[in-house]
Amino acid sequence: MEWRSICDKLADLIGGFGASIDPANPHQRGPWCVHSRSLRENVEEYFRENWSELDPRPRSFEVARRNGFATDLDIVSPDIIRSHPYYTDFLRRRRLGHFVGIHLRVDQKDWMISVQRPEGAGEPSNELIEHIPRLRRVIMGHASRAFAIGATKLENWIKGFDEADRGIAIIRRDGKVARLNAEAERLLAVSGLLRGNEIVSPDKIAGLQLKDMLAKVTQMDTTEEYSPPIVYSLGDRTLVLDVFRLPRTLRQFFLSGAAVLVVRSASKQVMDVAASLVQQFGLSSTEAEIAMGIAEGKTLRSLSEQLALKEGSVRQYLKIAMAKTNTHKQTQLVALMKDIEKR
């Protein structure tokens, strides 16, 4: 079950308008954190208008650590609720009222599922409060299993990256590098793109493209298309930077990793084939990369692992690539690319 669905179900049980899952570390909170769709506009305004700086509720983490849960009245008085701008302006305009925060402990880190109740719902009743410990045990069980499964998958990914023949870097939500393999460090250092834990470009236009590409892919819920790969010319070879979002199952509870940057060096001849697929036939960068992978003899499964996509998605991209190039078999697609290479 997805965590957004758990937020929705928990909100229904507690009589809430919606719920969100927030880390205790304030620097890791943002609109990317999982929340009910019903709260989307509230969450966007909360961070856009800096209501997070006035919100007294983060202080409830200390209470929730001790008791397992917290409410507004654990941190502020009724008088403050009637006069504080967070309650009288932000929440009132949104027709929201009291909240119930349920504490979670995952991998030695504190989290809270915050259930936002609607205006007029009043304080949580004693009967509702009595149910919270049982709900918390159920949610903690889900969270612990999700973390254990996700940690195993993430470590398998990292192990594969360390053995990869191309550069791989795990990118945090702030766009900085969390970890990179030896090949990525070598390629980025040689090209002058790596400065500490930041990937930067001396070229202004390419730098803006890189910033835009990382910003799009590191957002948890964005539906925007990925930006095309960024290409740097290095003498007789070309450096290509492409980025892919980590699957949702690996992103939840792993705030240090949001995306994977793939860095590869290719001959100009190979890049000319990829460019032709994009420019002449209208393939997207992902479709072109899958087509190139098929030409190199890679399987759909290996491409799905490389691109952080489901195997079914890779198959669908391949079908689209074949339709755009008017080929009906993989062998015909490979033959087409060989013809382009000879030109």
Q: What is the CATH number of the domain that holds 45?
A: 3.30.450.80
Q: How far is CA 36 from the centre of its chain?
A: 16
- Give the lowest-confidence range in 39-43, 192-196, 249-253, 280-284: 249-253
Instruction: Work out whether strand 69-71 and strand 96-106 pair parallel, antiparallel, or are unpaired.
Output: antiparallel
Tell me what pLDDT residue 257 has: 60
Query: In this model, does residue 160 exceed pLDDT 90?
Result: no
User: What's the average model confidence in pLDDT over 228-241?
Assistant: 69
| Domains: count for the chain | 2
Does residue 210 contact residue 197 with C-beta atoms inside 8 Å? no
Length of the chain: 343
- Rounded Cα distance between 230 and 285, Å, is 10
Residue ranges making up the domain that contains 297: 155-342
pLDDT of residue 234: 64
Per-residue pLDDT at 155: 56
Give residue 61's pLDDT: 93
Give the mean pLDDT of the chain.
80
Angle at 74 between CA 56 and CA 11, to 5 degrees: 80
Average pLDDT over residues 55-63: 93
Q: What band does 278 get if pLDDT is binned at 50, 70 and 90?
A: confident
Q: Are residues 252 and 131 in the same domain?
A: no
What does the pLDDT look like over 80-104, one tens digit per residue? Answer: 999 999 999 999 999 999 999 999 8
Q: Are residues 120 and 181 in the same domain?
A: no
What pTM did the predictor assign?
Answer: 0.54
Beta bridge partner(s), residue 245: 259
Same-domain status, 188 and 123: no
Give the CATH number of the domain where residue 282 resides: 1.10.10.10
Q: What does the pLDDT read at residue 191? A: 80
Rounded average pLDDT over 7-30: 86
> Is residue 10 within 8 Å of residue 139, measured between CB atoms?
yes
Question: With contact defined as beta carbons under 8 Å apart, do 216 and 226 qualify?
Answer: yes
Give the rounded percent of residues in the chain with a pLDDT score beyond 90. Answer: 25
In contact, 340 and 334? CB cutoff 8 Å? no
Integer CA distances (angstroms), 172 to 61, 118, 182, 224, 232, in order: 24, 34, 18, 18, 23
Q: Which of 137, 152, 167 is the endpoint of a domain? A: 152
The residue out of 100, 131, 152 marking a domain boundary is 152
Domain stop point among 112, 134, 152: 152
Together in a domain, 189 and 299: yes
